[in-house]
Structure 1
């Protein structure tokens, strides 16, 4: 990966490693960019196949599900098929190794993700999901979790059912929906509290594969900065932002393995 990084970028990675080695509380927020490096389409990507005439933003809403639950459920089953074969990339692996290493040091890492896939878990990380989990379901009416999970990190792709038939709740007969946060819905309270507390009390806040100008990432970065934290952004397409102290303008899969290596973890 080193050959992919310019000398100027390598210097910034070294500066980041020196900073991180001297700090105790680290908050990391990952977004769509890290999953895209594993081949998972982002919401900005054009829909394909049967779904090319739909916008993702028009399907991922409570109103869309109320209007046509079969359409929305079928789309999510299609998305699950896209994601099922994807594997963690070097960025996920590096974060998991860093988190594991921190258990034997005084450093505390809190990993938060905006992604709904389970690639962090597959790599071995403990992670808080702000937007829910694509592989979990709940009732759209009474919110009871649907106990039959579609997938775990240890399932093989062949064991997953992608049946498009609607399911109903055994408690209230409401339709079962994906347990993820749709447009217009609030973030899960416990997950958001974890994120806020980690951001407010961290020494360094690292934004990975997500714009530090877009909420909720922007709010967490601002909270961290307000409380004296340094801000590092890892993004091949960084946005100008006075909050950011160190910009690492490259893919997370190239930056993070090199970063943890220079911290003596790999």
Structure 2
């Protein structure tokens, strides 16, 4: 029997800034709807076990770093009979009170939409270009190497839909995974994220899977969120290698 919960959310935790994380959790708990938040702790030592205690939060200790997608998938069986909508939320995202309610209204008005996401801004207000075309190999390479960006500017701008008026809602090819609001039944039908991606590209992959469902992804810039965006693969060799591995897996699966 389904519980009387409108929206569930999940945040996967590993090495998080506690100030950013507190803000993300407070934003979710302020949603004026029946809700439940799952905190999936990928730290081996259950670091976050007693950091956040609330009756609307369920803490889940994985006790190993299983990655982003697998972490979010960990609660699929829990939300099957729980909520109408499910939010994939990064630990460094914040949003205003009415954002979720207004996005839910748009989902309810568009039955062919499986996932909706708002405009994403950096903390100082700069646009993050979170709605994108499916990536090409040249675009991914250019994004990883600063010196190549001027040479591939046209490719990058095309990938970011910069020729469009991004203040108008439209159906994007893919929307980055820092904030994705799904109909729960569609997230279940997708079987969540492909767990072959430890980190990176799983958000692109799930958008491809939405296409296979013959459903859409709606970019809705009338609502805005703030995303700190760590850009770890530009700063860490380990994360760069993980990003590269994920890109190989993506193109092997979906083609070039």
Q: With structure 1 as the length reference, what TM-score do the two structures score? A: 0.28
The structure that is helix-richer by fraction is 1
Q: Which has the larger radius of gyration?
A: 1
Q: With structure 2 as the length reference, what TM-score do the two structures score? A: 0.28
